[in-house]
A and B are shown apart, each in its own frame.
Chain A
Amino acid sequence: MNKSIHHLLIRNLIRWRWRLVLIAFLVAISTSISILYGGMLQKFQAESIENIEPLNLPYDILVILSDQQAPRTQFDNLGTYRYESQGGVYRGRPSEIPITIQKAEEALALELQTPFGLWEVWGIDTENSSLQSEELLGEGAWPEVQGELWVPASYKEDFELQIGNTVPLFFVDEFGVKKEFQLVICGVGSSEYDLQKPQITMESAHWISGSKQPNRQILFSESFKYMSNWSLFNSKMEQMYPGATYIYKAMPQLQWQNLMKAVQNPGQWVLLLVFVFMAVSVLTISLMTFLERKQELAVLKTLGISDFQLSFVLFLELFTAGILGFFIGIRIVSFVSLVIPSYFADSSASISLLYLKNGLITLLFFIVAVIYPLLLAKVASVNQLLYAREIPLVVARYDHIVSPPTDWIREMQQERLHMLKMTVIDGKSLSVILKNPGEKVKTGEVVAFMSSIAGFYYQEWLAPCDGVIQSFETANGKYVIKPEDPLTPLYPYTGLIQTRK
């Protein structure tokens, strides 16, 4: 950096110290609040999951098939998991292992009206069913013949049932005809699995319902416990079983996480508001400072500082304040986490990510906020700075018509005239005309200008030749200049009509 520019920067930093300190303070507050608040939300999310336990199921996935949906025989992979070999030649080398379904069973679930409310009873194929293991059985035996019923342990306690009890029940078929049956309890479950249903043989289910189409599919997968990409899992299941409901062990926790996200939703708004307010405040302060320093900037520009150098110095001033504020903010956060040791959730990786994310967002908002005054300082001319003229960010200058109509081109060629097109609406000119018909103009002289979009966009029309303004039509904006020298070359419009010599 040029030495004098360096000095200028230092002097400015000292001179505007309180203004810059205010900016640093805002950035510091924004950084610390966003990190502390983000940390609080993270901790809340991490701790809240302890309020809910995963389901304890004797299978991995239960699919409640929708109407007319047949059980599947072929299964896609449900996702993959990362596996690092602990020994052998592949030790430490990670590989992606697919999560596959090893086994599937079908059940025919029936809704039965009993003396104990509505029961969902499963008809199971008794041969080699994983749902009829020794561990699950408890007392008695699994149903083997028609009319036998096995009930989970919780049913025994809730309804005071014993082996040998007869349970009268009704089944309403698809026609609405109610049939009465009796089932005898042959076994009672032992273990406390969740969502267990009473079981009968598949023959009993056929006998009661008259249907042979299973409506539940139970899936077993040894690698399902490694599942972590639940959105992929959901889309795979939706592909395999469109419209079906599926229940798996982690489902309550995932549902809970979604609910907690909704609970925290306003919290995200607070974070956004913190950033927005920081940006608005920094924008105001830097803009006001720019307005105050207009004359100083005009002097610098007069002395020969380039636009880039000027905006660079101003940027460094503001950026120094921003960075200072950022580090003060980080310091505040570390102070708070020292005073309250359990402030953040335990995972240090997620805290680093939080620092990085919120720090970057703060800086991003900060940079967006200071861009406008910096751009103004860059594009402003000395006159605009000194005499409080509007400083447009975009300037367009025309000495010809961008796409003239063919008849205008013909007229220009035949009459040897130069034309410009002013902006007119409903017969009223929006361009401010500086040179009226009859007045003389010199090449490059501004004949009209227009300022739009709250002064951000500025258009100027320049005389393309020395001459006299011949006419201006407010109906179509046609502005005609008759050149002093008829041989002044016309603007080389494309598609210029060639006249035959």
Chain B
Amino acid sequence: MAWQWFHRLGSPKWFYEKTGPWLPWLGFISIALILIGSTWGLAFGPSEAKQGNSARIIYIHVPTAVLSMAGYYVMAIAGAIGLIWRMKLSFMVMKAAAPIGAILTFLALFTGAVWGKPTWGTWWVWDGRITSMVVLFLLYLGIVALQEAYQNQDTADKICAVLALVGMVNIPIIYKSVDWWYTLHQPASLKLTGKSSIDPSMAYPLLLMILAFYIFYTWVLLMRTRVEILKREQKTTWVKDLVARG
């Protein structure tokens, strides 16, 4: 049957056993790439003509912002799969993604504020980009809080999935805010189509950092999901066996 592989993917035991050996690799590669990328960007890459060295915060700011938005799609789509196929594992991924996304969003806002002070002349303004990022942060916090608000895990999962799906519209708003409205935040420097307005000497370390953060995100998401699996499946024999084996 065509959907069988999909249902097998939904088995927490299968997922737990399959992803175990990936973790050291993901961890090693992501940490190595982050070290290479940040050394490249911070020590060997050029400073920026107008901003000087403060522009180097881009190597943290952009990857955290990209992953805070990509991570939201991961969380919302996991929630949708959970709702449609009643897949427990999918809800566990959704729950695991929420705090990671919240931290990434916070880091993007924080690094933006640190950059804004010397560049714009202020830590904070309520323009379209920053405000929509605050909404993203609150959505993540809302899902973290909702998970704890229900005694019944199944209810919490469904409510969180609905909230995650409703909040999904915020992602294109964040992305397009700088084009739709007059904002203090500048438009995107890296462009999918057309010529990027960031010099290649800065674009390459930046792209490497974005890739590194994607791998790092996968690593952390898998680790958190595995903890959630053990928590929710603690009464099953396979988890008991796992614990007994030490």
Q: A and B: real partners?
A: no
Chain A residues at the B interface, C-beta cutoff of 8 Å: none
